[in-house]
Structure 1
Amino acid sequence: MLPHCVVAGLAALSLSTALSAQESNVARYTVSVSGLTAGKVTLTAQHEGARYVVSSNSASAGLAGFFRSFTLISQTQGTERNGRLIPQRYSADAKGARQGRGAELAFDGGLATVIKADPPEPDVPVVDPARHKGVVDPLTGLYSVLRDTTPATACQVDLKMFDGHRVNSVTLSSPQADGDGLTCRGLYRRIDGYPAKELARRPETSFIVTYRPVEGGVLRVTEVSVDSAFGLARMIRDN
Protein backbone atom coordinates (compact mmCIF):
# COMPACT_ATOMS: atom_id res chain seq x y z
CA MET A 1 0.00 0.00 0.00
CA LEU A 2 1.66 3.21 -1.16
CA PRO A 3 1.58 6.30 1.04
CA HIS A 4 -0.97 8.12 -1.14
CA CYS A 5 -3.18 5.05 -1.01
CA VAL A 6 -2.84 5.02 2.76
CA VAL A 7 -4.07 8.61 2.84
CA ALA A 8 -7.01 7.76 0.58
CA GLY A 9 -7.79 4.59 2.48
CA LEU A 10 -7.67 6.24 5.88
CA ALA A 11 -9.15 9.42 4.51
CA ALA A 12 -11.21 6.75 2.27
CA LEU A 13 -11.49 4.08 4.92
CA SER A 14 -18.10 9.62 8.19
CA LEU A 15 -23.03 9.14 13.46
CA SER A 16 -26.03 9.23 15.08
CA THR A 17 -25.39 12.29 17.25
CA ALA A 18 -28.18 14.81 16.71
CA LEU A 19 -26.68 18.14 15.60
CA SER A 20 -28.28 21.52 16.06
CA ALA A 21 -29.41 23.52 13.04
CA GLN A 22 -26.67 25.33 11.11
CA GLU A 23 -23.85 23.58 12.97
CA SER A 24 -20.50 23.44 11.21
CA ASN A 25 -17.02 22.28 12.11
CA VAL A 26 -13.60 21.81 10.59
CA ALA A 27 -11.36 18.87 11.47
CA ARG A 28 -7.71 18.61 10.44
CA TYR A 29 -5.67 15.42 10.34
CA THR A 30 -2.08 14.41 9.73
CA VAL A 31 -1.35 11.05 8.10
CA SER A 32 1.99 9.43 8.89
CA VAL A 33 3.63 6.17 7.80
CA SER A 34 6.33 4.67 10.04
CA GLY A 35 6.55 8.00 11.85
CA LEU A 36 7.05 10.08 8.69
CA THR A 37 4.44 12.58 7.53
CA ALA A 38 2.70 11.34 4.38
CA GLY A 39 -0.32 13.60 4.01
CA LYS A 40 -2.74 16.17 5.38
CA VAL A 41 -6.53 15.94 5.42
CA THR A 42 -9.04 18.72 6.12
CA LEU A 43 -12.68 17.75 6.63
CA THR A 44 -15.39 20.42 6.81
CA ALA A 45 -18.96 19.49 7.78
CA GLN A 46 -22.03 21.71 7.79
CA HIS A 47 -25.48 20.76 9.08
CA GLU A 48 -28.70 22.72 8.62
CA GLY A 49 -31.67 20.82 9.94
CA ALA A 50 -31.62 17.39 8.34
CA ARG A 51 -29.31 18.43 5.52
CA TYR A 52 -25.54 17.97 5.54
CA VAL A 53 -22.70 19.14 3.32
CA VAL A 54 -19.20 17.71 3.78
CA SER A 55 -16.07 18.67 1.89
CA SER A 56 -12.59 17.18 2.09
CA ASN A 57 -9.15 18.21 0.90
CA SER A 58 -6.48 15.48 1.01
CA ALA A 59 -2.93 16.14 -0.12
CA SER A 60 0.46 14.51 0.11
CA ALA A 61 2.97 16.08 2.47
CA GLY A 62 6.50 15.50 3.75
CA LEU A 63 8.58 12.93 1.90
CA ALA A 64 5.49 11.40 0.31
CA GLY A 65 4.71 14.76 -1.29
CA PHE A 66 8.25 15.06 -2.56
CA PHE A 67 8.19 11.69 -4.32
CA ARG A 68 4.51 11.38 -5.31
CA SER A 69 2.55 14.60 -5.11
CA PHE A 70 -1.24 14.37 -5.20
CA THR A 71 -4.41 16.17 -4.14
CA LEU A 72 -7.96 14.88 -3.84
CA ILE A 73 -10.75 17.42 -3.36
CA SER A 74 -14.24 16.05 -2.82
CA GLN A 75 -17.68 17.16 -1.65
CA THR A 76 -20.91 15.40 -0.74
CA GLN A 77 -24.36 16.57 0.26
CA GLY A 78 -27.48 14.81 1.41
CA THR A 79 -29.87 14.32 4.29
CA GLU A 80 -29.73 12.64 7.69
CA ARG A 81 -32.55 10.26 8.55
CA ASN A 82 -32.72 8.38 11.85
CA GLY A 83 -29.02 8.98 12.39
CA ARG A 84 -28.06 7.65 8.95
CA LEU A 85 -26.47 9.87 6.31
CA ILE A 86 -28.09 9.52 2.87
CA PRO A 87 -26.12 11.19 0.06
CA GLN A 88 -27.70 12.89 -2.92
CA ARG A 89 -24.73 14.34 -4.80
CA TYR A 90 -20.97 13.67 -4.74
CA SER A 91 -18.03 15.05 -6.70
CA ALA A 92 -14.28 14.42 -6.58
CA ASP A 93 -11.36 15.98 -8.43
CA ALA A 94 -7.99 14.21 -8.30
CA LYS A 95 -4.60 15.44 -9.46
CA GLY A 96 -1.15 13.91 -9.40
CA ALA A 97 -0.84 10.35 -8.18
CA ARG A 98 -4.58 10.22 -7.53
CA GLN A 99 -5.42 11.25 -11.09
CA GLY A 100 -7.98 9.00 -12.73
CA ARG A 101 -10.17 8.85 -9.62
CA GLY A 102 -12.33 11.91 -10.31
CA ALA A 103 -16.09 11.47 -10.59
CA GLU A 104 -19.49 13.08 -10.19
CA LEU A 105 -22.33 10.94 -8.82
CA ALA A 106 -26.01 11.31 -8.04
CA PHE A 107 -27.86 9.11 -5.53
CA ASP A 108 -31.57 8.32 -5.49
CA GLY A 109 -33.41 5.57 -3.68
CA GLY A 110 -30.20 3.83 -2.68
CA LEU A 111 -28.87 3.68 -6.25
CA ALA A 112 -25.90 5.62 -7.59
CA THR A 113 -25.76 7.13 -11.07
CA VAL A 114 -22.44 8.08 -12.63
CA ILE A 115 -22.84 11.53 -14.18
CA LYS A 116 -19.22 11.60 -15.27
CA ALA A 117 -16.02 9.84 -14.29
CA ASP A 118 -12.38 9.71 -15.29
CA PRO A 119 -11.55 6.86 -17.69
CA PRO A 120 -10.90 3.57 -15.89
CA GLU A 121 -7.40 2.18 -15.63
CA PRO A 122 -6.45 -0.55 -18.12
CA ASP A 123 -7.62 -4.10 -17.31
CA VAL A 124 -9.90 -2.88 -14.49
CA PRO A 125 -13.51 -4.13 -14.55
CA VAL A 126 -16.19 -1.46 -14.93
CA VAL A 127 -18.69 -1.43 -12.06
CA ASP A 128 -22.42 -1.58 -12.77
CA PRO A 129 -23.95 0.62 -10.02
CA ALA A 130 -27.32 -1.13 -10.39
CA ARG A 131 -25.74 -4.24 -8.82
CA HIS A 132 -24.91 -2.39 -5.61
CA LYS A 133 -28.04 -0.89 -4.09
CA GLY A 134 -27.68 1.03 -0.84
CA VAL A 135 -24.20 2.42 -1.49
CA VAL A 136 -23.01 5.80 -0.24
CA ASP A 137 -20.15 7.89 -1.56
CA PRO A 138 -16.70 7.52 0.06
CA LEU A 139 -16.79 10.94 1.71
CA THR A 140 -20.10 10.14 3.41
CA GLY A 141 -18.44 6.90 4.50
CA LEU A 142 -15.40 8.72 5.85
CA TYR A 143 -17.57 11.22 7.71
CA SER A 144 -19.60 8.38 9.21
CA VAL A 145 -16.39 6.95 10.67
CA LEU A 146 -14.90 10.24 11.88
CA ARG A 147 -18.01 12.06 13.06
CA ASP A 148 -18.49 12.84 16.76
CA THR A 149 -20.70 10.28 18.48
CA THR A 150 -21.75 9.02 21.92
CA PRO A 151 -20.74 5.97 23.97
CA ALA A 152 -24.10 4.38 23.13
CA THR A 153 -23.64 4.70 19.36
CA ALA A 154 -19.86 4.43 18.90
CA CYS A 155 -18.48 1.62 16.73
CA GLN A 156 -21.76 1.18 14.85
CA VAL A 157 -20.89 1.72 11.18
CA ASP A 158 -21.73 -0.69 8.38
CA LEU A 159 -21.63 0.91 4.94
CA LYS A 160 -20.98 0.04 1.31
CA MET A 161 -19.32 2.80 -0.73
CA PHE A 162 -19.01 3.60 -4.44
CA ASP A 163 -16.68 6.30 -5.79
CA GLY A 164 -17.60 6.00 -9.48
CA HIS A 165 -14.92 3.38 -10.11
CA ARG A 166 -14.82 0.88 -7.22
CA VAL A 167 -17.08 -0.53 -4.54
CA ASN A 168 -15.83 -1.02 -0.98
CA SER A 169 -17.36 -1.57 2.42
CA VAL A 170 -16.41 -0.31 5.87
CA THR A 171 -17.58 -1.61 9.23
CA LEU A 172 -16.84 -0.61 12.82
CA SER A 173 -17.54 -3.00 15.71
CA SER A 174 -16.24 -4.46 18.98
CA PRO A 175 -15.99 -1.40 21.27
CA GLN A 176 -13.37 -1.76 23.99
CA ALA A 177 -12.66 0.55 26.93
CA ASP A 178 -9.35 2.39 26.52
CA GLY A 179 -8.62 4.65 29.48
CA ASP A 180 -11.25 7.40 29.48
CA GLY A 181 -12.18 6.61 25.88
CA LEU A 182 -12.64 3.51 23.78
CA THR A 183 -11.42 1.80 20.64
CA CYS A 184 -13.22 -0.18 17.99
CA ARG A 185 -12.16 -2.50 15.23
CA GLY A 186 -12.66 -1.51 11.63
CA LEU A 187 -12.68 -3.56 8.47
CA TYR A 188 -12.30 -2.14 4.96
CA ARG A 189 -13.22 -4.61 2.19
CA ARG A 190 -12.70 -4.31 -1.55
CA ILE A 191 -15.74 -5.62 -3.41
CA ASP A 192 -15.87 -4.59 -7.08
CA GLY A 193 -13.94 -2.59 -9.65
CA TYR A 194 -10.52 -4.09 -8.92
CA PRO A 195 -8.30 -6.31 -11.07
CA ALA A 196 -8.87 -9.95 -10.12
CA LYS A 197 -5.28 -10.42 -8.95
CA GLU A 198 -5.41 -7.40 -6.66
CA LEU A 199 -8.77 -8.43 -5.23
CA ALA A 200 -7.44 -11.91 -4.49
CA ARG A 201 -4.18 -10.66 -3.02
CA ARG A 202 -5.59 -7.94 -0.76
CA PRO A 203 -9.34 -8.35 -0.27
CA GLU A 204 -9.55 -6.51 3.06
CA THR A 205 -7.70 -4.30 5.52
CA SER A 206 -8.31 -4.06 9.26
CA PHE A 207 -7.80 -0.87 11.25
CA ILE A 208 -8.33 0.57 14.72
CA VAL A 209 -10.36 3.67 15.58
CA THR A 210 -9.63 5.48 18.86
CA TYR A 211 -12.20 7.74 20.55
CA ARG A 212 -11.54 10.25 23.33
CA PRO A 213 -14.21 12.14 25.32
CA VAL A 214 -14.85 15.83 24.78
CA GLU A 215 -17.36 18.14 26.43
CA GLY A 216 -21.02 17.20 26.69
CA GLY A 217 -20.50 13.44 26.88
CA VAL A 218 -19.39 13.32 23.25
CA LEU A 219 -16.77 10.93 21.90
CA ARG A 220 -14.41 12.16 19.19
CA VAL A 221 -12.19 10.11 16.89
CA THR A 222 -8.61 11.17 17.61
CA GLU A 223 -6.78 8.46 15.67
CA VAL A 224 -7.24 5.83 12.97
CA SER A 225 -4.37 3.37 12.58
CA VAL A 226 -3.62 0.54 10.19
CA ASP A 227 -0.66 -1.74 9.53
CA SER A 228 0.53 -1.18 5.96
CA ALA A 229 3.27 -2.64 3.79
CA PHE A 230 5.34 0.45 4.68
CA GLY A 231 4.78 0.21 8.45
CA LEU A 232 2.21 1.60 10.85
CA ALA A 233 0.02 4.23 9.16
CA ARG A 234 -1.74 6.67 11.47
CA MET A 235 -4.34 9.39 10.85
CA ILE A 236 -4.27 11.71 13.86
CA ARG A 237 -6.62 14.61 14.50
CA ASP A 238 -4.71 17.87 14.94
CA ASN A 239 -7.47 20.04 16.43
Structure 2
Amino acid sequence: MRRLTAVLPALALALAILPLRPLAAQEEQAVFDVSFAGIRGGTLSIGGAERDGQYTAAAVAESSGLVGGIYRLRAEARSSGRVSGNRYTPAAYDEATRERGESKTKQIRFPGGIATVTQDPPDTKRKDWHAEGKDHPGVVDPMTGLFALLRSRPAGLACDLDISTYDGREVHRIKLSGGRQEGDRFVCPAQYIRVDGYKPKDLADTSFRNFEVTYDTSRGDLWPVVEVRARTSYGSMVFSRR
Protein backbone atom coordinates (compact mmCIF):
# COMPACT_ATOMS: atom_id res chain seq x y z
CA MET A 1 0.00 0.00 0.00
CA ARG A 2 1.74 3.06 -1.31
CA ARG A 3 0.55 5.52 1.31
CA LEU A 4 2.02 3.42 4.09
CA THR A 5 5.43 2.77 2.61
CA ALA A 6 7.76 4.81 4.51
CA VAL A 7 9.18 7.78 2.91
CA LEU A 8 6.64 7.66 0.21
CA PRO A 9 5.60 10.88 -1.48
CA ALA A 10 1.85 10.50 -0.99
CA LEU A 11 1.94 10.09 2.81
CA ALA A 12 -0.52 12.34 4.60
CA LEU A 13 -1.40 10.17 7.53
CA ALA A 14 -2.26 9.96 11.24
CA LEU A 15 -3.57 8.28 14.43
CA ALA A 16 -2.76 7.60 18.04
CA ILE A 17 -0.69 4.57 18.99
CA LEU A 18 -1.91 1.30 17.49
CA PRO A 19 -2.82 -1.35 20.08
CA LEU A 20 -1.11 -4.60 19.15
CA ARG A 21 -1.64 -8.00 20.66
CA PRO A 22 1.05 -8.77 23.28
CA LEU A 23 4.44 -9.43 21.71
CA ALA A 24 7.64 -10.51 23.40
CA ALA A 25 11.28 -9.61 22.79
CA GLN A 26 12.34 -6.35 21.10
CA GLU A 27 8.80 -5.01 21.06
CA GLU A 28 8.57 -1.42 19.89
CA GLN A 29 5.85 1.17 19.31
CA ALA A 30 6.21 4.70 17.99
CA VAL A 31 4.19 7.64 16.72
CA PHE A 32 5.41 9.92 13.94
CA ASP A 33 3.92 13.31 13.14
CA VAL A 34 3.89 13.89 9.39
CA SER A 35 4.10 17.33 7.81
CA PHE A 36 4.38 18.81 4.33
CA ALA A 37 6.07 22.17 3.83
CA GLY A 38 5.51 22.85 7.52
CA ILE A 39 1.80 21.98 7.36
CA ARG A 40 0.58 19.10 9.50
CA GLY A 41 -0.70 16.17 7.44
CA GLY A 42 -1.34 13.70 10.24
CA THR A 43 0.48 11.07 12.29
CA LEU A 44 1.61 7.54 11.60
CA SER A 45 1.57 4.96 14.41
CA ILE A 46 3.66 1.85 14.02
CA GLY A 47 4.45 -1.10 16.26
CA GLY A 48 6.18 -4.42 15.93
CA ALA A 49 8.32 -7.10 17.50
CA GLU A 50 11.02 -9.59 16.60
CA ARG A 51 11.35 -12.94 18.34
CA ASP A 52 13.24 -16.14 17.42
CA GLY A 53 13.74 -15.03 13.83
CA GLN A 54 10.09 -14.02 13.37
CA TYR A 55 8.64 -10.53 13.12
CA THR A 56 5.18 -9.00 13.39
CA ALA A 57 4.47 -5.39 12.45
CA ALA A 58 1.39 -3.21 12.24
CA ALA A 59 0.43 0.42 11.62
CA VAL A 60 -2.55 2.72 11.59
CA ALA A 61 -2.61 6.03 9.72
CA GLU A 62 -5.15 8.74 9.09
CA SER A 63 -4.96 12.14 7.45
CA SER A 64 -5.65 15.10 9.72
CA GLY A 65 -5.19 18.84 10.04
CA LEU A 66 -5.45 20.90 6.85
CA VAL A 67 -4.63 17.87 4.73
CA GLY A 68 -7.36 15.86 6.43
CA GLY A 69 -9.86 18.56 5.65
CA ILE A 70 -9.11 18.18 1.95
CA TYR A 71 -8.28 14.49 1.66
CA ARG A 72 -9.71 11.93 4.05
CA LEU A 73 -7.80 8.68 4.42
CA ARG A 74 -7.62 6.01 7.09
CA ALA A 75 -5.45 2.94 6.63
CA GLU A 76 -4.53 -0.09 8.72
CA ALA A 77 -1.91 -2.69 7.84
CA ARG A 78 -0.33 -5.75 9.41
CA SER A 79 2.44 -8.06 8.26
CA SER A 80 4.44 -11.02 9.55
CA GLY A 81 7.29 -13.24 8.43
CA ARG A 82 10.91 -14.19 9.07
CA VAL A 83 13.83 -11.85 9.69
CA SER A 84 17.59 -12.13 10.00
CA GLY A 85 19.42 -8.86 10.55
CA ASN A 86 18.11 -6.54 7.83
CA ARG A 87 16.82 -9.35 5.61
CA TYR A 88 13.05 -9.92 5.66
CA THR A 89 11.01 -12.79 4.24
CA PRO A 90 7.32 -11.89 4.57
CA ALA A 91 4.58 -14.49 4.87
CA ALA A 92 1.38 -12.43 5.10
CA TYR A 93 0.19 -8.86 4.66
CA ASP A 94 -3.31 -7.52 5.36
CA GLU A 95 -4.53 -4.00 4.63
CA ALA A 96 -7.78 -2.12 5.13
CA THR A 97 -8.32 1.43 3.87
CA ARG A 98 -11.11 3.94 3.86
CA GLU A 99 -10.53 6.67 1.30
CA ARG A 100 -13.11 9.37 0.53
CA GLY A 101 -15.81 7.15 2.03
CA GLU A 102 -14.84 4.03 0.08
CA SER A 103 -13.60 0.95 1.96
CA LYS A 104 -11.13 -1.52 0.48
CA THR A 105 -9.15 -4.53 1.67
CA LYS A 106 -6.02 -6.15 0.30
CA GLN A 107 -4.10 -9.31 1.16
CA ILE A 108 -0.66 -10.30 -0.09
CA ARG A 109 0.69 -13.80 0.43
CA PHE A 110 4.09 -15.13 -0.63
CA PRO A 111 3.91 -18.78 -1.78
CA GLY A 112 7.35 -19.77 -3.00
CA GLY A 113 8.57 -16.24 -2.34
CA ILE A 114 6.25 -14.76 -5.00
CA ALA A 115 3.84 -11.98 -4.01
CA THR A 116 0.21 -12.95 -4.72
CA VAL A 117 -2.40 -10.22 -4.29
CA THR A 118 -6.12 -10.45 -3.48
CA GLN A 119 -8.27 -7.30 -3.33
CA ASP A 120 -11.87 -6.48 -2.47
CA PRO A 121 -13.21 -4.86 -4.55
CA PRO A 122 -10.99 -6.12 -7.40
CA ASP A 123 -8.51 -3.71 -8.98
CA THR A 124 -10.48 -2.67 -12.07
CA LYS A 125 -8.17 0.26 -12.83
CA ARG A 126 -5.10 -1.86 -13.38
CA LYS A 127 -3.02 -0.89 -16.43
CA ASP A 128 -0.74 -2.94 -18.64
CA TRP A 129 2.33 -1.19 -17.25
CA HIS A 130 1.61 -2.19 -13.66
CA ALA A 131 4.04 -4.72 -12.19
CA GLU A 132 3.33 -8.42 -11.63
CA GLY A 133 4.52 -10.15 -8.47
CA LYS A 134 5.86 -13.13 -10.43
CA ASP A 135 8.37 -10.82 -12.13
CA HIS A 136 9.86 -9.65 -8.84
CA PRO A 137 10.68 -12.58 -6.54
CA GLY A 138 12.04 -11.56 -3.18
CA VAL A 139 10.05 -8.34 -2.77
CA VAL A 140 8.41 -7.54 0.55
CA ASP A 141 5.02 -6.01 1.31
CA PRO A 142 4.66 -2.27 2.12
CA MET A 143 4.18 -2.81 5.86
CA THR A 144 7.35 -4.88 6.11
CA GLY A 145 9.21 -2.17 4.21
CA LEU A 146 7.88 0.51 6.54
CA PHE A 147 8.82 -1.50 9.64
CA ALA A 148 12.31 -2.17 8.30
CA LEU A 149 12.81 1.53 7.67
CA LEU A 150 11.38 3.01 10.89
CA ARG A 151 12.29 0.46 13.56
CA SER A 152 15.16 1.02 16.00
CA ARG A 153 18.45 -0.56 14.93
CA PRO A 154 21.79 -1.31 16.58
CA ALA A 155 24.75 0.58 15.14
CA GLY A 156 25.79 -2.34 12.95
CA LEU A 157 22.39 -2.51 11.22
CA ALA A 158 21.58 1.22 10.99
CA CYS A 159 22.13 2.87 7.61
CA ASP A 160 22.48 -0.56 5.99
CA LEU A 161 19.19 -1.41 4.31
CA ASP A 162 18.40 -2.46 0.75
CA ILE A 163 14.82 -3.65 0.33
CA SER A 164 12.22 -3.68 -2.46
CA THR A 165 8.50 -3.36 -1.79
CA TYR A 166 5.48 -4.36 -3.89
CA ASP A 167 1.94 -3.12 -3.33
CA GLY A 168 0.16 -5.01 -6.12
CA ARG A 169 0.94 -2.42 -8.76
CA GLU A 170 4.34 -0.85 -8.21
CA VAL A 171 7.80 -1.91 -7.07
CA HIS A 172 10.04 0.49 -5.16
CA ARG A 173 13.55 0.06 -3.84
CA ILE A 174 14.53 1.64 -0.51
CA LYS A 175 18.26 1.88 0.06
CA LEU A 176 20.23 3.29 3.02
CA SER A 177 24.02 3.34 3.14
CA GLY A 178 26.87 5.35 4.66
CA GLY A 179 25.95 7.92 7.28
CA ARG A 180 27.51 10.68 9.37
CA GLN A 181 27.54 11.50 13.06
CA GLU A 182 26.09 14.89 14.04
CA GLY A 183 26.30 15.23 17.80
CA ASP A 184 23.93 12.67 19.34
CA ARG A 185 22.38 11.92 15.95
CA PHE A 186 23.44 9.74 13.05
CA VAL A 187 22.14 10.81 9.64
CA CYS A 188 21.78 8.24 6.87
CA PRO A 189 21.56 9.21 3.20
CA ALA A 190 18.84 7.16 1.53
CA GLN A 191 17.15 6.60 -1.81
CA TYR A 192 13.60 5.74 -2.83
CA ILE A 193 13.78 4.35 -6.36
CA ARG A 194 10.97 3.49 -8.76
CA VAL A 195 11.67 0.03 -10.18
CA ASP A 196 8.55 -1.11 -12.04
CA GLY A 197 4.83 -0.47 -12.41
CA TYR A 198 4.96 3.01 -13.97
CA LYS A 199 4.66 4.49 -17.43
CA PRO A 200 8.17 4.84 -18.92
CA LYS A 201 8.23 8.63 -18.45
CA ASP A 202 7.09 8.28 -14.83
CA LEU A 203 9.56 5.49 -14.14
CA ALA A 204 12.37 7.83 -15.12
CA ASP A 205 11.15 10.59 -12.78
CA THR A 206 13.73 11.16 -10.04
CA SER A 207 12.10 14.24 -8.46
CA PHE A 208 11.49 12.22 -5.30
CA ARG A 209 14.49 9.97 -4.77
CA ASN A 210 16.91 11.21 -2.13
CA PHE A 211 15.93 11.46 1.52
CA GLU A 212 17.51 11.20 4.97
CA VAL A 213 16.85 8.98 7.97
CA THR A 214 18.10 10.23 11.34
CA TYR A 215 18.79 8.02 14.38
CA ASP A 216 19.23 9.10 18.00
CA THR A 217 22.48 7.52 19.25
CA SER A 218 22.18 8.74 22.86
CA ARG A 219 19.70 6.12 24.12
CA GLY A 220 21.87 3.03 24.39
CA ASP A 221 22.67 0.16 22.05
CA LEU A 222 19.46 0.46 20.00
CA TRP A 223 19.15 3.63 17.93
CA PRO A 224 15.55 4.82 17.37
CA VAL A 225 14.64 6.66 14.18
CA VAL A 226 13.69 10.20 15.20
CA GLU A 227 13.23 11.84 11.80
CA VAL A 228 12.78 11.10 8.12
CA ARG A 229 13.12 14.07 5.80
CA ALA A 230 12.61 14.32 2.05
CA ARG A 231 12.02 16.92 -0.63
CA THR A 232 8.89 16.46 -2.73
CA SER A 233 7.06 18.49 -5.35
CA TYR A 234 4.85 19.69 -2.47
CA GLY A 235 7.82 20.89 -0.39
CA SER A 236 9.71 19.13 2.39
CA MET A 237 8.04 16.08 3.89
CA VAL A 238 9.07 15.31 7.46
CA PHE A 239 8.34 12.39 9.78
CA SER A 240 9.10 13.47 13.37
CA ARG A 241 9.02 10.92 16.17
CA ARG A 242 7.19 12.02 19.31
Fold in common (TM above 0.5): yes
Q: Which residue does the alignment assign to 1:35?
A: 38
- C-alpha RMSD of the superposition: 2.6
SS at match of 1:215: coil
Q: Which residue does the alignment assign to 2:110?
A: 107
- When residues 100 and 21 of structure 1 are mapped into structure 2, their CA distance, relative to the original with a 3 A threshold, is closer
- Pairing partner for 1:180 from 171, 179, 184: 184
- When residues 171 and 11 of structure 1 are mapped into structure 2, their CA distance, relative to the original with a 3 A threshold, is closer
Matched, 1:219 2:218: no
- When residues 115 and 123 of structure 1 are mapped into structure 2, their CA distance, relative to the original with a 3 A threshold, is closer
- Pairing partner for 2:170 from 148, 166, 172: 166
Matched, 1:210 2:210: no
CA-to-partner distance for each residue in 1:8-60, whole Å, 9 max, x for gaps?
454558xxxxxx94442211010001111002101011333222111111111
Q: For residue 194 of structure 1, report the CA deviation from its aligned partner.
A: 2.0
Q: For residue 82 of structure 1, report the CA deviation from its aligned partner.
A: 4.6
Q: Which residue does the alignment assign to 1:77?
A: 80
Give ranges in structure 2 of 5+ residues lacking alignment: 10-22
Q: Which residue does the alignment assign to 1:57?
A: 60
Q: Which residue does the alignment assign to 2:20?
A: none
- Pairing partner for 2:140 from 122, 130, 136: 136
For 1:97 and 1:186, locate their aligned partners in 2 and report how far apart those are by CA, in whole Å. 32
For 1:45 and 1:230, locate their aligned partners in 2 and report how far apart those are by CA, in whole Å. 30
| TM-score (normalizing by structure 2) | 0.83
Matched, 1:94 2:97: yes
User: Alignment identity in percent?
Assistant: 27
For 2:85 and 2:75, locate their aligned partners in 1 and report how far apart those are by CA, in whole Å. 30
- Does structure 2 retain, via aligned residues, the 8 Å contact 1:190–1:204? no
For 2:158 and 2:101, locate their aligned partners in 1 and report how far apart those are by CA, in whole Å. 31
For 1:120 and 1:193, locate their aligned partners in 2 and report how far apart those are by CA, in whole Å. 15
Q: For residue 124 of structure 1, report the CA deviation from its aligned partner.
A: 5.7
1:145 maps to a residue whose letter is L
- Does structure 2 retain, via aligned residues, the 8 Å contact 1:94–1:102? yes
- When residues 84 and 126 of structure 1 are mapped into structure 2, their CA distance, relative to the original with a 3 A threshold, is same
1:193 maps to a residue whose letter is G
- Pairing partner for 1:25 from 25, 28, 34: 28
- When residues 200 and 150 of structure 1 are mapped into structure 2, their CA distance, relative to the original with a 3 A threshold, is same
CA-to-partner distance for each residue in 1:74-102, whole Å, 9 max, x for gaps?
11011223552211000112221596985
Q: Which residue does the alignment assign to 1:17?
A: none
- Does structure 1 retain, via aligned residues, the 8 Å contact 2:160–2:177? yes
- When residues 195 and 10 of structure 1 are mapped into structure 2, their CA distance, relative to the original with a 3 A threshold, is same
For 1:78 and 1:122, locate their aligned partners in 2 and report how far apart those are by CA, in whole Å. 28
| TM-score (normalizing by structure 1) | 0.84
Q: For residue 150 of structure 1, report the CA deviation from its aligned partner.
A: 1.8
Give ranges in structure 1 of 5+ residues lacking alignment: 14-19
